[in-house]
Amino acid sequence: MRLRALLDTDVLGLRLLGGEDELDRSVRGVMTTDLRDPSRYLSGGELVLTGLAWRRDADDSEPFVRILAQAGVAALAAGEAELGDVPEDLVLACARHRLPLFAVHESVAFATITEHVVRQVSSERAGDLAAVVDRHRRMMTSGPAGGGPDVVLDLLGTDLDLRAWVLSPTGRLIAGSKEAGPDLPAETCAKLAAEHLAATRTGRRGPHRVLLGGATYSLFPIRSSGRTPQAARDVRETVLSDWLLAVEADAGDWPEERMDLLQGVTQLIAVERDRRDAARTVRRRLAQEVLELVQTGAAPAEIAARLRVAAPVLLPGLGAAPHWQVVVARVEWDGEQIDGGPVAQSLLEEVLVDPQATGPEPSDRIAVAHTGDEAIALVPLPAVATEHDGSSESGLLADALLKAVREPLSAGLDDDGRLTLGVSAAVHSAEGLRGALEEARHARRVAAARPGRVCAAGHQELASHVLLLPFVPDDVRRAFTARLLDPLTDYDRRHRAELIPTLEAFLDCDGSWTRCATRLHLHVNTLRYRVGRIEQLTGRDLSRLEDKLDFFLALRMS
């Protein structure tokens, strides 16, 4: 379709701000973004929709427009809902780069424009997509009650005789058409997800064809905001969070029109996936706020107040205050530094979904934040589930969390990624939340020491001192570690003597002079001098078991 046709469509309500001479450009797709640099998700010919969240001041417009122009996009449409009139600096930047610019009235949803463009572009090749898009438009405007992705899949079944299902990267069944008959068995879903993730990691373009149980399935990726990973690094960042469309058919002999039709359907379902992510924003924010309070040592009363706000959101209608568990996850990749926090967050949200819940918005009742390379989930448990606390059967169990998802996730991680997960015991109040966080982190380290691409450990597997340390009050921890370690830290800072690393190595070598000296690449006499200095500064004797234990605990709590 041509840009000029967009202006002739009254329902879109677009207003042209510049680029009259470029209106004969062809539009081959649509993308919604508020990234400052969306270049890796652009392939050319798109109508780019933006709410201008990337713009902080007038200087931001020029580089943003330059990136779009270099990527070969057809035009830019800026929404007026956030800032009102489109800023003049954006108008001028588009004029300099000969990029047509439209203003989108605040009453027009980006979803309406997206659906219109997809319908027009695809209908030029396949007329049967028009009914799918029109039904999906009604679903989108009526909200969750409209039926979600099931509506689109039903039309694939009735109009095109295609049995299809939408699956999460862990193999959870999200939607299926009525024509598809009974739901796919969980084992089949897991195998399809694993095959899809393994094929995606090889860099092959979809759809991927799989023969399973005598049936042939074609697997199409469903990528948020139309993004298309361009490199191996991009694939690792997205493969574990993207949904997939499984169609019981062999797409190898499909005409180009049919392939374009299915690609258009995946774009429509991607809108639902983005809406699901947006619905989790409140939960994520609550988790982030609680996590920051816990990690900064806020008063238990302040944390408890925040938890009281979180409880109704996560457990609607709950009368009594819930108990809480903490789950920590980390995704790591070999050989390259990749920010694994968002990937771990998306995975943890999926892993913690209630297995009895179905649909794109399951009642998972969890809140997940991410900090650095790890994701941290705050999981509420009804108080009745933990009344008899101390039983290993109460709350979440580490092995159970990964049992159903280990196969697909291992395929997605391939041979260069790892997912490790730790689960705390249930705690009754805000006072125990900091201890639960440290306990979950300790459990994750236990899991990280095991072989395998996907590993988990629970609080039951922690050694006794590791289990106790997280629950030592902060003031006691600080006083204990300061009394033993501050003299050594001060001495190291003044003389660069490395007494703390020496102490750690000495204890780790069980007090063996020879092994410790070898590890530190020191002469034994030099090691003896350093240990003597430690004893002199602290008044302790490292030949005594009690003093060794005190130093060991101080280092663990520091």
Q: Nearest Cα to 344, choosing from 199, 459, 222, 240?
A: 240
| pLDDT tens readout for residues 162-189 | 889 999 888 888 888 776 566 788 889 9
pLDDT at residue 130, rounded to an integer: 47
Q: Rounded to whole angstroms, how far apart are CA atoms 351 and 241?
A: 11
Q: 493 and 463 in one domain?
A: no
Q: 271 and 368 in one domain?
A: no
Report the chain's mean pLDDT, rounded to a whole number: 80
Whether omega before 360 lies within 30 degrees of 0, making that bond cis, reads no
Q: Which of 63, 90, 112 is the last residue of a domain?
A: 112
For residue 106, give the 3-state DSSP assignment: coil
Q: Rounded to whole angstroms, how far apart are CA atoms 162 and 52?
A: 39
Q: 157 and 105 in one domain?
A: no
Does this model's pTM top 0.85?
no
Q: Which of 430, 453, 469 is the last residue of a domain?
A: 469
pLDDT at residue 333, rounded to an integer: 78
pLDDT at residue 141, rounded to an integer: 44
Contact 380, 322 (CB under 8 A): yes
pLDDT at residue 365, rounded to an integer: 62
| Spatial strand order in the sheet of 417-423 | 367-371, 374-381, 323-333, 417-423, 454-458
pLDDT at residue 234, rounded to an integer: 56
- DSSP calls for 25-65: -B--EEEE---S--GGG--SSEEEEE-STT-SSGGGHHHHH
pLDDT at residue 415, rounded to an integer: 72
Q: Nearest Cα to 27, choosing from 62, 64, 77?
A: 77
pLDDT at residue 390, rounded to an integer: 40
pLDDT at residue 147, rounded to an integer: 55
Q: Rounded to whole angstroms, how far apart are CA atoms 458 and 425?
A: 8
Asked if residue 212 is part of any domain, the answer here is: yes
Cα 227 to Cα 86, 170, 180: the distances in Å are 25, 20, 28
Count of positions (residues) in the chain: 558
Q: 107 and 75 in one domain?
A: yes
Spans of the chain, pLDDT less than 70: 122-148, 179-182, 224-239, 311, 313-322, 335-339, 354-365, 382-395, 463-472
Distance of CA 19 to the CA centre of its chain: 38
**Domain range holding 162?**
150-277
Asked if residue 198 is part of any domain, the answer here is: yes
pLDDT at residue 139, rounded to an integer: 45
Q: Total structural domains in the chain?
A: 4
Q: Which of 429, 445, 469 is the last residue of a domain?
A: 469
| pLDDT tens readout for residues 506-515 | 998 888 999 9
Please name the amino acid found at residue 102: F
pLDDT at residue 124, rounded to an integer: 53
Asked if residue 339 is part of any domain, the answer here is: yes
